[in-house]
């Protein structure tokens, strides 16, 4: 852990919550009415520390209490009357890692983040304030931030680029706001996984039409029902995530109006058949620039004989069908409702587009060979 020297002790071992050690005295000049102690603390990646903590919760404060010890790691200012901060004071705390400003009266996020950077901050709590809008570069002065909690505010709008600079972000909580978005793009963030019910509580986003989850270098998986409360979503773009290798077969439950699914430029080796069959309005899926394997991707398609039917692609039928390491992969017309067995080959293929039309009960497959491993005959 890069900042282990900040704390009295750092333990990279599991700790049972019921066995946490008690808080220890911290003999420093503490702000009046606040409590200064060495307390247990877990980092965003679950590493246990004993952290110098200044607790100023529930004191009806209208400004920062002074003096704040320079070695402060955790600063708790929950349930006060703060509407502005002297960020120069926070900038002067080189070890400040966890800042709790929840349940205050902040209405403009830049009163917290604009003037001075806090380069060591990992966790920022802003729940239950009065934030109504996130402007561009709202958090660009917090380059190390890994956790951002914005739940239960009055957020109605988020500007493009509001999360610029949050390249290490692991957790973003934005539920229970007043968002009524038509398009939401979360790009370039450090999210590792999109968990089940990831957007739970965003009832005002039921009219969202487009969602983008792009350019996230740490995103590795999308779990079951991650996006289930977006009933009007028509376009979902999950692209350019170099480590995204797994999408749960039921990841996109209840997206009954989804027409376009963009999954290109990830690390997917297969797409489960249930994803296709669970999207009744789906018209296009982009899968290009993934390390797709013919045996994985088309194994279910080769077995499917009843539903859906498969249309013949004029570029791949008959004698013009591509050969994969000497074996030909063909797609028969919809009239036969059958697909020949897929070659169990290690050849990577680039499946450019899938089409499914609910009126014709058909999927159109177009594919081309890449990496110079396939030849057309």
Of 15-29, 131-145, 323-337, least confident by mean pLDDT is 323-337
CB 61 within 8 A of CB 84: no
Segment among 136-145, 192-201, 236-245, 348-357 with least mean pLDDT = 348-357
- Residue 196: what pLDDT? 58
Q: How far apart are CA 332 and CA 334, in angstroms?
A: 7
**pLDDT at residue 209 in the model:** 87
Structural domains present in the chain: 1-179 (3.80.10.10), 180-290 (3.80.10.10), 294-377 (no CATH)
pLDDT score of 226: 84
Beta-strand pair 183-187/348-357: unpaired
CA distance 166 to 124: 12
pLDDT band at 50 (very low <50, low <70, confident <90, very high): very high
* Mean pLDDT across 328-343: 30
**The token pair that represents 43 in the structure block:** 């980092």
Question: Phi, psi (5° rounding) for residue 36?
Answer: -110, 120
pLDDT of residue 19: 65
* CB neighbourhood size of 195 (10 A): 15
- Give yes or no for a cis peptide into 270 (omega within 30° of 0): no
pLDDT at 187: 62
Q: Locate 259 and state its tokens.
A: 């027409």
Q: 336 or 117: whose pLDDT is higher?
A: 117
pLDDT for the residue numbered 282: 86
Pairwise pLDDT comparison (324 vs 142), residue with the higher score: 142
Q: Output the average pLDDT for the chain.
A: 74
Contact (Cβ atoms closer than 8 angstroms) between residue 82 and residue 56: no
Lowest mean pLDDT of 173-182, 183-192, 273-282, name the range.
183-192
Q: What dihedral do alpha carbons 184, 187, 192, 194 form, nearest 10°?
A: 20
**pLDDT value of residue 204:** 54
Confidence class for position 27, pLDDT limits 50, 70, 90: very high
In this predicted structure, the answer to whether residue 18 has a pLDDT above a threshold of 60 is no
What is the rounded distance in angstroms from the CA atom of residue 90 to the CA atom of residue 72?
10
pLDDT at 182 over 90: no
Q: Which of 85-99, 137-151, 289-303, 347-361 has the lowest mean pLDDT?
A: 347-361
pLDDT (average), residues 210-239 = 87
How confident is the model over 125-166, as pLDDT tens digits?
999 999 999 999 999 999 999 999 999 999 988 888 899 999
Split at pLDDT 50, 70, 90, the class of 183 is low
| Contact assessment for residue 231 and residue 257, using Cβ atoms and an 8 Å cutoff | yes
Between the alpha carbon of residue 167 and those of residues 39, 163, 319, the distances in Å are: 28, 9, 49
126-130, 250-254, 297-301, 371-375: the lowest-pLDDT one? 371-375
Within 13 A of 190's CA, how many CA atoms are on the CB side?
Answer: 17
Give the pLDDT score at 29: 96
Distances in whole angstroms, Cα of residue 256 to Cα of each of 211, 250, 271: 15, 13, 18
Q: Count Cβ atoms within 10 A of the Cβ of residue 313 and give its class: 0-12 exposed, 13-18 middle, 19 or more buried.
A: middle
Mean pLDDT for 69-93 is: 95
pLDDT at residue 355 tops 60:
no
End-to-end CA distance of the chain: 56
Length reported for the chain: 377
């Amino acid at each position: 852990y890069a900042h282990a020297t900040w704390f009295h002790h750092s333990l990279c071992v599991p700790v049972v919550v019921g066995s946490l050690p008690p808080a220890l005295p911290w003999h420093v000049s503490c702000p009046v009415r606040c409590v200064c102690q060495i307390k247990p603390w877990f980092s965003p990646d679950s590493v246990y520390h004993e952290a110098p903590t200044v607790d100023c919760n529930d004191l009806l404060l209208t400004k920062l209490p002074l003096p704040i010890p320079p070695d402060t790691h955790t600063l708790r200012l929950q349930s006060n009357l703060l509407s502005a901060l002297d960020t120069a004071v926070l900038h002067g705390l080189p070890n400040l890692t966890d800042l709790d400003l929840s349940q205050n009266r902040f209405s403009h996020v830049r009163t917290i983040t604009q003037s001075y950077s806090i380069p060591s901050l990992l966790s920022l709590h802003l729940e239950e304030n009065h934030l109504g809008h996130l402007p561009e570069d709202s958090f660009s002065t917090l380059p190390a931030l890994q956790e951002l909690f914005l739940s239960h505010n009055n957020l109605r709008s988020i500007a493009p680029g509001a999360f610029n600079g949050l390249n290490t972000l692991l957790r973003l909580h934005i539920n229970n706001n007043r968002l009524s978005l038509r398009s939401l793009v979360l790009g370039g963030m450090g999210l590792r996984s999109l968990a089940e019910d990831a957007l739970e509580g965003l009832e005002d986003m039921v009219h969202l039409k487009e969602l983008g989850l792009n350019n996230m270098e740490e995103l590795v998986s999308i779990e079951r029902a991650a996006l289930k409360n977006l009933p009007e979503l028509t376009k979902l773009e999950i692209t350019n995530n170099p480590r995204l290798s797994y999408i749960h077969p039921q990841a996109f439950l209840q997206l009954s109006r989804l027409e376009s699914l963009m999954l290109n430029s990830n690390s997917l080796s297969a797409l489960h058949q249930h994803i296709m069959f669970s999207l009744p309005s789906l018209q296009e899926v982009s899968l290009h620039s993934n390390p797709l394997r013919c045996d994985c991707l088309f194994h279910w398609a080769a077995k499917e004989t009843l539903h859906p039917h498969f249309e013949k692609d004029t570029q791949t039928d008959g004698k013009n069908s591509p050969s994969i390491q000497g074996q030909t992969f063909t797609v028969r017309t919809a009239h036969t409702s059958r697909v020949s067995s897929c070659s169990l080959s290690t050849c990577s293929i680039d499946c450019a587009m899938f089409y499914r039309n609910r009126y014709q009960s058909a999927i159109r497959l177009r594919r081309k060979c890449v990496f110079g491993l396939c030849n057309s005959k």
